[in-house]
Amino acid sequence: MLDFRDRSPAKKANDDFSGRRKFLSFLMLVFMSVLVVRAIYLQVITKDFLIHQGDMRQVDDVSVSAYRGVVVDREGEPLAISTPVESIWINPKELRFAKEEQLKVMEKLLSLPIGKVTEWIKEDPHRQFLYISRRVNPQIAGRVKELKLTGVYTEREFKRFYPTGGVSAHLVGFTDVDDVGQAGLERGYEKMLKGTAGSKRVIRDGQRRIIEDIENIKEPVPGKTLELSIDQRIQYLAYKELQIAVNDNKAKSGALVVLDAKNGEVLAAVNQPSFNPNTRNNLKESLYRNRGFTEVFEPGSTVKPFVVAAALDGGYVTPNSIFVTNGTYAVGHNTVKDTHNYGTMDTTRVITKSSNIGVTMMSLKMPPKYLYDIYHQLGFGVSAGSGFPGEASGVMKDYKKWHDFDRATMSFGYGLNASALQLARAYTALADDGVLHSVSLIKREEDDDTVRVFSAKTAKTVRKMMETVLTKDGTAIEAVVPGYSAAGKTGTAKKATAHGYTEKSYFAVFAGMAPVENPRLIIAVMIDEPSAGKYYGGLVAAPVFSRVMAGALRILEIAPDKEETMPVLLTQRQQ
């Protein structure tokens, strides 16, 4: 039989190619089958496991806190610094298996109520993150770590520390648990102090714990140092003396401001009662309010030197002008009174005896707008511009609404109000030969924002008049500064209520400067509601001025300009 099949080489090659194609197709089918099986295995059988494993490894970008800037006094002494601390957080889902005794030990270390952590766990046992203590001392955090509790973790943060405690608390302020300024200069200079946070890329596990740093994305930029004009030595002295005065006089509160008479720097600013910014708990706003900057009062007779200066500068009176008084003086349907009948007196004696009638007569000689402009130039009714948050502007009635009795009361410090800072600033116009200074809480050499209010001759004349206030014949013998000449003015203002002025509550005030010929310092003292028996500014506020001024001048190494003499104490004082 004949075989007609093609046995040619071409036919044999085609058969070989067909076989290989089938083999490759088979392999591809196998591979595809494996992939399908694998996909089913991953997407169906091990789905939950893989999701969990994915959650266990997450790449994340996290913020890196910047070191908060330091606040220092003019000599570089720290007033506020940040220190590394640890914050403790828990994963309740993990910690629920911990032994009760271990939890009690941790609670005791962190000063938490016994059973508190267990309570938090039971509230939401599936929660995976909860802070239980913020800004913990690293040593205590270390002891917590030694417990090796599963579900307890630490996180590094910064805590603000105030080395001077309550001495500078009202001025510097404080930060919250997240290191954000909440009061005082910490709040006012928040942008400058907080710096710029950095960032880094990390790997987290399923409990959001950082288990590995991958790379730094941006380095944090530390906050800038804030250098204040405050001299911490004078600050401490003022704090101590004001505290003694407020306590001894059973007063409601007190404020004191010390200014450099040459450039307007605030060298000290203290308040009583104070608080410790390092240990504050449930702190009331009324306690940390800086009264010297944010609260106002009627300054009483401390404004009389300005009325005298205005009258002298405007040519309405001379140093030798005579004022005839008899203890009362009718102004329209109202009556102005002095505490005594001083009879006939010259301009200097009006200041010496603090005569309401004398300054009323001067005030009525001047056009209302003229006196108003002087007060306005001195800074009454406008912010002092120190940059302190919440700084008060005070209130002063527009001169167009003044009646004659308004002009009278304005001349002895009623009908307008001011803060202790504003009062101290106004006194720079008398201390620096008629030039009013701006005020600054930041250290500076010169004041580039001055305004001339009085002539140099008038300012010097009024300073000499004010020097007589600190004599046996004046109202503030207890303001005498041993070793130094000093000038100032007392103020005793009745407090206003909803029903008018009360006869039981007063502001005791004193403002002054030293040395007289070339004043270096200005101090304003206000004590609110002294209730131990004395309430005149010359008896309550003047002694504080004396002690703080004497100490501050010596701290600054200002040479004494007169013999030290012990002041003669009087049994009675006028306002």
Q: CA–CA separation, 438 vs 422, rounded Å?
A: 10
Contact 223, 185 (CB under 8 A): no
Count, in order, helices (H) and strands (E) of the chain.
22, 21
Contact 569, 471 (CB under 8 A): no
Q: CA–CA separation, 311 vs 132, rounded Å?
A: 67
Q: CA–CA separation, 409 vs 528, rounded Å?
A: 21
The set of residues, in sequence order, having a beta carbon less than 8 Å from that of 85 and lying 6+ positions away, is 135, 136, 137, 138, 141, 156, 157, 158, 159
The DSSP bridge pattern shows strands 198-204 and 58-64 to be antiparallel
The set of residues, in sequence order, having a beta carbon less than 8 Å from that of 470 and lying 6+ positions away, is 476, 477, 479, 480, 486, 487, 488, 512
Q: CA–CA separation, 553 vs 483, rounded Å?
A: 10
Amino acid making up residue 486: A
156 burial (CB, 10 Å; 0-12 / 13-18 / 19+) is exposed
Token pair in block for residue 352: 């010496």
Is 301 designated active site?
Answer: yes
Token pair in block for residue 392: 């008060």
The set of residues, in sequence order, having a beta carbon less than 8 Å from that of 207 and lying 6+ positions away, is 91, 94, 128, 129, 153
Residue ranges in 41-115 assigned as alpha helix (H): 47-56, 92-95, 100-109
Q: Which of 82, 133, 229, 301 is catalytic?
A: 301
Phi, psi (degrees; rounded to nearest 5) at 332: 65, -130
Give me the active site residues, please: 301
